[in-house]
Amino acid sequence: MSALDPAPSPQHAAVLSLATTVAHKFGGSSLASAQRYAHVAGLLRGRDDAVQVTVVSAMQGVTDALIALGDAAVAGEDWQPHWDALHEKHRTAAATLLGTHADITLAWLDAQFQDLHAILAALTLLGASGEPALARVHGLGEVWSARLLADALRAAGDDVAVLDARNVMEVGRNELGVVVDWDASARRLAAWRHEHPQARVVVTGFVARDAKGAATTLGRNGSDFSGAIFAALFEAAELHIWTDVDGVLSADPRAVPDAVYLPKLSYDEACELAYFGAKVIHPQTMAPAIARGLPIVIRNTFNPAHPGTRIDAAGDTAALLPAKGLSLVSDLALLNVEGSGMIGVPGTAERVFATLHASNVSVVMISQGSSEHSICCVVRAAQAQTGRAALERAFAPELAQGQIQKVTLEAGISVLAAVGDGMAGTPGVAARFLGALARARVNLRAIAQGASERNISVAIAAADATRALRAAHAGFWLSPQTISLGVIGPGKVGAALLDQIAQSAPRLLRDTNLDLRLRGIADSRRAWLGEHDSGDWRAKFDAATPSDLDAFVAHVHAAHLPHAAILDCSASPAVAAKYPDWLAAGIHVITPNKQAGAGPLPHYHAIRAAAAAGGARFRYEATVGAGLPVIQTLRDLLDTGDELHSVEGIFSGTLAWLFNRYDGVLPFAQLVREAHALGYTEPDARDDLSGTDVARKLVILAREAGYALSLDDVQVESLIPPELVAVSAQEFLDRLGDFDDAMRARFAAAQAQGNVLRYVAAFDREGRAQVGLRALPASHAFAHLQLTDNIVLFSTRRYCDNPLVVQGPGAGPDVTAAGVFADLLRVATALGARV
């Protein structure tokens, strides 16, 4: 056995030890050049099959070239240059492959091509299609390919027989396609085998004979079918189909890069996946294998060490996930026959399908509600107009009389199918499938599920197809749950958030299958757009281009990714003004920006309405208590039926630090300058001392509790002396000391009463809201805070004697970023991630 060929499992080895024959089939991509023929020959020689039957396709591209040659000859076009090119291609391959052993093969090829030349000349002269002649032309590639591989094996010293399938396999045709005459084919094979007992046999795929002995073909994908037929005729223990992928994947890797390899499938699962677009194996190939219980193994010629996908009657009984894979069929259209006159009338469905059958229109999917008011069929897009015209003719009397209201055609449809034996009898599979599509904002046009429960198919708009496939794939945990991220405002909070995501993303992908895909960073001047870049985000943003917010959001909200989230870490009202549009488009918005939650009431209501209608999440926990669960705690109280009496709190880490430190000795202005130097204040310290920011947080909580409160409704005490309102930020800091006496007097008055000063926000059940400096007893909960701690007291019907307290650091980029990150993970959980 070749070092490239993996050792079989003990169970597999036990089967092969009893086997007399193993069949192999190699496609055109495996036989694309002389080097590939040599590779295949080495692969076959490295195996220990007792009897080895190898069915081959033509060299890659040759069948298409032969069809084009035949068509050109029939049309009277000049086919000579293409004949020359094809002749030279095979001569070059033979010479390179066989070297000094090539003379006999080259002479044989020259004779073959002279025969082809004569056939083409006759077709040109006749000027009409001779089907037997064309069938003979179309199948020559397999004849040449079989000879090349056999001669490569002979040159290595093997005794090899070449079987021309046209001498053995007899087929006919009916409405369902090719039908094999098994008895006649078996008799011919037995006679041929008597004359050719070699252990290695190379067989021409794709070609066959009819009952009259004329050459014919099995149609496109016929070589795979030939592989299964000859595996059955030779009574092989297994059929290995060698292709250019490692096996069957859970989805098309071009649409789902994270598609996973499936080690085992049942025949039923493979048929479903094959019909719905999995091109690794054709459904027709399965029939001989299913009838005889013949296992099929899909292998990779370019990676023979990989075990591939085994397809048999049992499938993977140990699989934990109900769905094995998802397939997508595109270029479809939806035909719908609708009318009240159809209800309860027998035979309507029969007329619909008989009409489509008579018009040679293939039906991909059928859906009908129990009301019988409509019947919809998904058909190939190229046949859709023909189908609609046929239905309109067939139901013309009913349309004229109003018994049937309309026959409609909707183009641009794809069908997405979830497939798996484990779906049968498993509750919630449809909910998981359809829920994943709903969270990705994919609208369903029709649904169909067979009684076997191993396939659920949905018709969707083609524009949503890739997003739907990726969302469903992640919904069944076959691939990571992917969220496209765009971060606006990479300042202190935004930078901390980007660092936290960069640090945590690999762990989240590894441990929870959550793929947080940073695809954009923007500020007011510039933007960086990427795909799935890791590494130093700062270096990428340094190379950013001028910012276009709409283009930025369009890039983040990519059609090929199931979910998108904008993380707005700015304080911009212009950015917040975009939230309703983003949410309506299905983009999740997560922010510490208070401009939305505390902005004008109509805008706030528009945000909530857009989130409710669009299904996107609006998360803003960090707007009130940075990383503290303030809003979530309030929501939990109200959602569980509690009644809010009042909310009191210290919502500014900056003001908390100032009054925790202020003792009447050290000037208040000096503390403000120290806080500014430490970065606790905003660049303009008046933004903190004005109380407006605290008032915004109170408004957000009041609105969360159901009150239509606006910022103008809050009584706010500003700590900014009126004389310093209009000066520059630096002049404010320089002159604030001139007003220290007023603050010292307030502190002394409070101290004389045994009180402390704290900047407090309060809201009660009557809707009264106020923010300002209060003197509180030294025993009060607000009197013993640490540094920049925030604290919130919820007084409710349940917590009336002893209020519920939420306390902790409420300022600083890291904790605020952590609050935003936590909201992002909550959104991911709602989307189906297992965080």
* DSSP letters for 645-713: EEEEEE--HHHHHHHHH--SSS-HHHHHHHHHHTT-S-SSTHHHHTSHHHHHHHHHHHHHTT----GGG
pLDDT computed for residue 13 by the predictor? 35
Span 196-218, mean pLDDT?
92
Query: What is the rounded CA–CA span in Å between residue 381 and residue 412?
Result: 8
Whether this model's pTM surpasses 0.75: no
Interacting residues of 511 by C-beta distance below 8 A, sequence separation 6+:
none
- What pLDDT sits at residue 7? 35
Domain membership flag for residue 270 = no
Burial of 32 (0-12, 13-18, 19+ CB in 10 A): middle
pLDDT at 219 over 70: yes
CATH code of the domain containing 114 = 3.40.1160.10
| Residue 256, in any domain of the structure | no
- Span 545-593, pLDDT tens digits: 888 999 999 999 988 888 999 999 998 999 999 999 999 999 999 999 9
Q: Residue 146: what pLDDT?
A: 97
722 assigned to some structural domain: yes
Using one digit for the tens of pLDDT, what is the confidence trace for 276-300? 555 667 778 888 999 999 999 999 9
The reply to whether 487 and 456 lie within a common domain is no
Higher pLDDT, 532 or 585: 585
User: Residue 579 belongs to a domain with what CATH number?
Assistant: 3.40.50.720
| Judgement on whether residues 460 and 544 belong to the same structural domain of the protein | no
Q: Does 469 share its domain with 513?
A: no
Which range of 147-161, 168-182, 554-568 scores highest in mean pLDDT? It is: 147-161
DSSP 463: G
Tokens (6 digits) for 411: 């183009």
Q: What is the CATH number of the domain that holds 773?
A: 3.30.360.10
- Co-location of 417 and 531 in the same domain: no
Quick check: is 716 in a domain? Answer: yes
Any idea of the CA torsion for 745, 746, 749, 752, to the nearest 10 degrees?
-100
CB 589 within 8 A of CB 566: yes
Local confidence band at 54 (pLDDT 50, 70, 90 cut-offs): very high
Q: Are residues 440 and 513 located together in one domain of the fold? A: no
Q: Are residues 651 and 742 in the same domain?
A: yes
- Which residue range forms the structural domain that includes residue 99? 20-244
For the chain, give the mean pLDDT.
Answer: 89
Q: Which residues have a catalytic role annotated?
A: 697
Residue 453 maps to which CATH number?
3.30.2130.10
Kindly report the number of other CB atoms within 10 A of residue 159's CB atom.
10
In this structure, are 602 and 640 located in the same domain? no
Any domain includes 341: yes
- The tally of domains found in the chain comes to 4
Whether residue 357 sits in one domain with residue 489? no
Q: Let me know: does 205 contact 142? Beta carbons within 8 Å.
A: yes
Give the per-residue pLDDT at 477.
Answer: 76
Q: Clarify whether residues 222 and 338 are in a common domain.
A: no
CA 463 distance to own-chain centroid: 14
Is 268 within a domain? no
The answer to whether residue 662 sits within a structural domain is yes
